């Protein structure tokens, strides 16, 4: 079960990890991840799409909560 706070902390941590680097842009373009070229692996596109759908659903659920 993922909540919005956990999602925000994860995104912030990833943003900080990539601050000052072009890695985050490259990862978005070619889908490859890793700190060193020899350790990089192709992303499972099916798993990535499922993860994106899960995040989208969490965002929609959070947006529907009235304050």
Q: Which of 26, 48, 25, 49 is nearest to 37 (CA)?
A: 26
Are the CB atoms for 63 and 57 separated by under 8 Å? no
pLDDT at 67 over 60: no
37: which residues sit within 8 A by CB, 6+ positions away?
Answer: none
Q: Which residues have a Cβ under 8 Å from the Cβ of 18 and sit 6 or more positions away? A: 24
* pLDDT of res. 65: 76
pLDDT given at position 14: 81
End-to-end C-alpha distance for the chain, whole angstroms = 21
Residue 25: predicted pLDDT: 72
Whether pTM exceeds 0.75? no
Convert the pLDDT of each residue in 6-64 to its tens digit. 888 888 888 877 665 666 677 777 666 666 667 666 778 898 889 889 989 998 888 88
């Amino acid at each position: 079960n993922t909540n919005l706070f956990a999602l925000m902390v994860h995104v912030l941590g990833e943003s900080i990890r990539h601050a000052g680097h072009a890695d985050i842009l490259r990862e978005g373009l070619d889908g490859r991840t890793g700190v060193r070229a020899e350790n990089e692996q192709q992303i499972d596109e099916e798993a990535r799409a499922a993860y994106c759908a899960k995040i989208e659903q969490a965002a929609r659920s959070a947006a529907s909560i009235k304050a």
